[in-house]
Amino acid sequence: MSEGLILAAMVAALSISVFFVKLPTGIALLVSAMIGAFVAGEGIPLRHLAEGSMMYLDPMLIVLTSLFFMAVFERSGALSSLNVWMLRKFSSRPFILVSLLTLFVMLPGMFTGLTAPCVLTTGAIAAPVLLAAGTPRAVAGAFIASGAFWGMAAPPVNICAMLIGAGVDMPYIGFDLPLLATTVPLALLSGHLLVGKYFRGLKTENVCELIESKESGGALLYLPFLVVMSLMLGERFLPQYVPHLGIPLIFVIAAVLSLFTGARVKIKEAADWSVKSAMPILALLAGIGMFIQILTLTGARGFIVIELLELSEWQRYVGIAILVQLFGGVSAYGSSVVLGVPILLSMLGQNNVIVASALSIIASLGDFMPPTRLAVVLAGPVVGEESSAAILRKSLWPIVLGLACGIGMLIYANEIGKLFGLN
């Protein structure tokens, strides 16, 4: 059977499983992979399915350990203390306060590659500040969803970029500076466009009530965060002095350190939350690996690359702008691998690091897209807004900026690569 028909059968099986049978996306990807192999005459290739399930073992370990670190770090009181410090120092300086709140909401996503921890931890902590400033609930939800999206796309942990790189045997090296230089400025711009005008009229008495209801901790609370940054940056820029520990081990070290720098943390409670939160993501990554393994086995992956190469340049960019983020509505990680990897292979004349970074940003927009709309749906209860559609409508700025950034990086990938010394 032709590769095109095999691909069509896999996509149809995936769509039916997700939209009609309502299977979890990880299971739906497994079903799709099995159907693809069967249609191709390979039967049920257990060896390939087993190999595929472990294809993304490194990102799996990063997801699990990073969530454990964020669980312990948040329970130690570090995040609420940081929020109180920002309010005390900058309540009379709205521009700085909005900028810091944006970075604050982004923080968990930068270290987990996920939007959910941003919304449920720092987003929940920042929500009372946003509402006290007079921000409408839908706009506050959009601000939190925006910060979560930019945090997911920002370094040091961008799982979408890791998955794209792993699909073409490209190490996760050289991504930090390009991603930092694009995501942070645009995140700040998004934040100010969304809530800047409300903070210019922030009432001091409302902020005072928030500060008095919370306790601020000492500088020792932030030591684990500094350790994470020092080890990650050190092994990159000072390898002769800092040993290469790997991102999962760095998160474990920082989590253990967090046990001794703040409030008492119940390890079992933090571990249970981490595993429970990680399991859907781990299943999704395993499903993606099996799906890609069968795409490769049947030749459907090569078929996608060939078809992409036959498109004109403008058709390719239009297709990327539409399909990558819409598929991300099912799974940003799935979009990164199923579409991102073939797109990268079809653009080998461009700087690979910049192309993968751009595709990761576009794929991350999937957390705004139906059917899941994960960041939007989670933000609703946090700010008390029942209509996720209202939050989505107010999220136009981050969506437009993210899409423009991603396409612009694709078009000028080589020029941008030279700016960062990437050859």
Assign 342 a pLDDT band (cuts: 50, 70, 90): confident
Provide the pLDDT for residue 203. 66
- Please give the model's pTM, rounded to 2 decimal places: 0.84
The most confident of 316-330, 337-351, 387-401, by mean pLDDT:
387-401
Q: How far is CA 60 from CA 30, 273, 289, in A?
A: 17, 16, 11
- Whether the CB-CB separation of 341 and 292 falls below 8 Å is answered with yes
375 pLDDT more than 80:
yes
Provide the pLDDT for residue 26. 86
Residue found by looking up tokens 């595993």 in the block: 275
Residue 348: other Cβ atoms inside 10 A:
11
- Whether the CB-CB separation of 126 and 141 falls below 8 Å is answered with no
Q: Average per-residue pLDDT in the chain?
A: 88
Distance (Å, whole) CA 94 – CA 171: 40
Q: How far is CA 265 from CA 71, 125, 262, in A?
A: 9, 18, 8
φ, ψ at 422 (rounded to 5°):
-100, 120
Residue partners of 260: CB distance under 8 A and separation at least 6: none
Residue partners of 321: CB distance under 8 A and separation at least 6: 362, 403, 406, 407
Residue partners of 392: CB distance under 8 A and separation at least 6: 142, 368, 373, 376
pLDDT tens-place string over residues 100-153: 999 999 999 998 888 888 998 889 888 888 988 889 999 999 999 999 999 999
State which H helix or E strand residue 130 sits in. Answer: helix 124-132
417 pLDDT more than 60:
yes
Provide the pLDDT for residue 137. 95
- Whether the CB-CB separation of 241 and 234 falls below 8 Å is answered with yes
End-to-end CA distance of the chain: 40
Distance (Å, whole) CA 126 – CA 128: 6
- Whether the CB-CB separation of 275 and 65 falls below 8 Å is answered with no
411 pLDDT more than 90:
yes
195 pLDDT more than 80:
yes
Structure tokens at 399: 């969506």
Residue found by looking up tokens 């306060």 in the block: 97
Burial pattern 155-169, b for ≥16 Cβ within 10 A else e, equals bbbbbbbbbbbbbee
- Whether the CB-CB separation of 125 and 301 falls below 8 Å is answered with no
**Region of poorest pLDDT, from 57-61, 231-235, 343-347, 348-352:** 231-235
Residue found by looking up tokens 């230089």 in the block: 181
Distance (Å, whole) CA 236 – CA 248: 15
Q: Which of 337, 366, 324, 328 is nearest to 52 (CA)?
A: 337
